[in-house]
Amino acid sequence: MNIGLIGSGGREHALCKKIYDSKLTNKIICLPGNAGTASIAQNIEVNILDFKKILKLIKYHKIDLVLVGPEEPLVKGIVDFLKKNKIKVFGPNKYAAKLEGSKAFMKTICAENNIPTAGFKICTKINQVKSFMHKFKLPIVVKADGLAAGKGVTICKTKKQVFKTTSEIFKGKFKSSKKVVLEEFILGEEASYFVIVDNNNFKFFGTAQDHKQVYENDKGPNTGGMGAYSPAPIITKKLEKKIISRIVIPTLKALKKRNNPYNGFLYVGLMIKKNEPYLIEYNIRMGDPECQVILPRLKTDFVKILKYSVSHKLKKIKINWIKKKTMTIVLCSKGYPGLYRKNLQINNIDKVKLNKDNFIYHAGTKFFKNKIITSGGRVLSMTSIGNSFLKIRRKIILNLKSLGFKDGFYRKDIGWKVIKKK
């Protein structure tokens, strides 16, 4: 099969690697890809929101199946557009993608279907913020309604901070957000639960825990993700049953009732409090960096899974996983998630000892004059497989040190909660 992969991050490099490893794969076209995907696929520079140009490229390269990595083209309706043009594509349609594209929509689904989530109020004006604020105790979680690249959530410890944060959103800090969701703060432990869905059925697709804050000890502003590990020890079989029965099934049923059944990856962002799951957010794709720790644990042919899913035959395939653990640590350019420099050369990637248990997934990188240079804030992620999270982390840090990238930084405490417990 000829596979088209849309996106350019670490997630897409991980997806590309799994597609490359499949016996069913003939050719991979990455739109646009990065320096990592370039070694195993053909990269073609294109704007991921230029649907007409993407369609032309898909037809020209005789693509049999398209996989959409990032959320923005999904939310903007690329699946609907490609299906209308008779292209096989894996991912949710525009309506179902609102689960991530609109926090207000997701919360409304929760309220209508008794899905456990934090108490909330949807605000469109600053006056509503003032009137609703007394409904919750401080701290209050403020969420931009639309997409914000993982940076649209703020835990506000004072009323002044609530007003400041909401005012910035209403003034256009995030272009996609015209609404604000005020949310009750739930103190617990975050975890992610993944399923793959084929309109009618779903199957388990891994668990992970990530670290969103930029600094160690989970301090500082939110990022797209600084690291992750899998599986998530906190998600026991008992807890999993609650997640499926109380959250996953009611959500999929609700979308089906609205004549927009779900197809694609569904990322269930959870807060676990006293062994009870609360839905914090939905993502309508694999997470980044969660994808970089889940896919290395997958034993079943990835393209075969995608093929069965788009054909609505997911029930017929068994998805198997290795029992070992994985961890990834993200290397960022100094200044991220704020202002950071681009076009910085990375010299020593060839010095990193890569094998079947050690991977580099490129993200914000590109080739320039036969050299690898940075093109984004999250540059790459280093992933390893093993039996101990502590030993895996030590191995990754040694590999990151061998890069000698002085213009970068990374967290050295990824997995600290689970390692501390041992």
CA–CA distance, 401 with 397 (Å, rounded to integer): 6
CA–CA distance, 204 with 206 (Å, rounded to integer): 6
Q: What is the pLDDT of residue 175?
A: 75
Under 8 Å between Cβ of 214 and 151:
no
What's the angle, vertex CA 28, arms to CA 25 and CA 32, rounded to 5? 160
Residues 6+ apart with CB under 8 A from 110: 116, 117, 279
Is CATH 3.90.600.10 what the domain over 325-421 is classified as, yes or no? yes
Assigned superfamily of 119-184 = ATP-grasp fold, A domain (3.30.1490.20)
String of DSSP letters for 260-306: ---EEEEEEEEEEETTEEEEEEEESS--TTTHHHHGGGB-S-HHHHH
CA atoms within 13 A on the CB side of 140: 26
DSSP lists the bridge partners of residue 382 as 329, 360
Per-residue confidence in pLDDT tens, the chain, 422 aa = 999 999 999 999 999 999 999 999 999 999 999 999 999 999 999 999 999 999 999 999 999 999 999 999 999 999 999 999 999 999 999 999 999 999 999 999 999 999 999 999 999 998 899 888 888 899 999 999 988 776 788 889 999 999 999 998 988 888 767 789 999 999 999 999 999 999 999 999 999 999 999 999 999 988 889 999 999 999 999 999 999 999 999 999 999 999 999 999 999 999 999 999 999 999 999 999 999 999 999 999 999 999 999 999 999 999 999 999 999 999 999 999 999 999 999 988 888 878 889 999 999 999 888 899 999 999 999 999 999 999 999 999 999 999 989 999 999 999 998 997 65
According to CATH, where is 3.90.600.10 located in the chain?
325-421
What secondary structure letter does DSSP report for 351? G
End-to-end alpha carbon distance in the chain? 45
Instruction: For 107, list phi and psi in degrees, rounded to 5.
Output: -65, -35
Q: Could you count the other beta carbons within 10 Å of the beta carbon of residue 409?
A: 18
Rounded to an integer, what is the distance from CA 86 to the centroid of its chain? 27
According to CATH, where is 3.30.470.20 located in the chain?
189-316
CA–CA distance, 268 with 217 (Å, rounded to integer): 24
Under 8 Å between Cβ of 106 and 281:
yes
CA–CA distance, 138 with 152 (Å, rounded to integer): 18
CA–CA distance, 91 with 312 (Å, rounded to integer): 12
According to CATH, where is 3.30.1490.20 located in the chain?
119-184
CA–CA distance, 81 with 301 (Å, rounded to integer): 28
DSSP lists the bridge partners of residue 181 as 122, 143
Assigned superfamily of 189-316 = ATP-grasp fold, B domain (3.30.470.20)
According to CATH, where is 3.40.50.20 located in the chain?
2-93
Q: Could you count the other beta carbons within 10 Å of the beta carbon of residue 120?
A: 22
CA–CA distance, 230 with 206 (Å, rounded to integer): 8
- Domain at 2-93: CATH architecture: 3-Layer(aba) Sandwich (3.40)
Under 8 Å between Cβ of 70 and 85:
no
Taking only Cα atoms into account, the Rg of the chain, rounded to an integer number of angstroms, comes to 21
User: Tokens 């398209």 sit at which residue?
Assistant: 66
User: Tokens 């456990």 sit at which residue?
Assistant: 116
Q: What is the pLDDT of residue 183?
A: 94
Under 8 Å between Cβ of 242 and 199:
no
Q: What is the pLDDT of residue 173?
A: 85
Q: Residue 202: helix, strand or coil by DSSP?
A: strand
CA–CA distance, 38 with 254 (Å, rounded to integer): 40
- Distances from the Cα of 384 to the Cα of 18, 390, 396, angstroms: 15, 11, 7
CA–CA distance, 362 with 343 (Å, rounded to integer): 14
CA–CA distance, 8 with 148 (Å, rounded to integer): 17
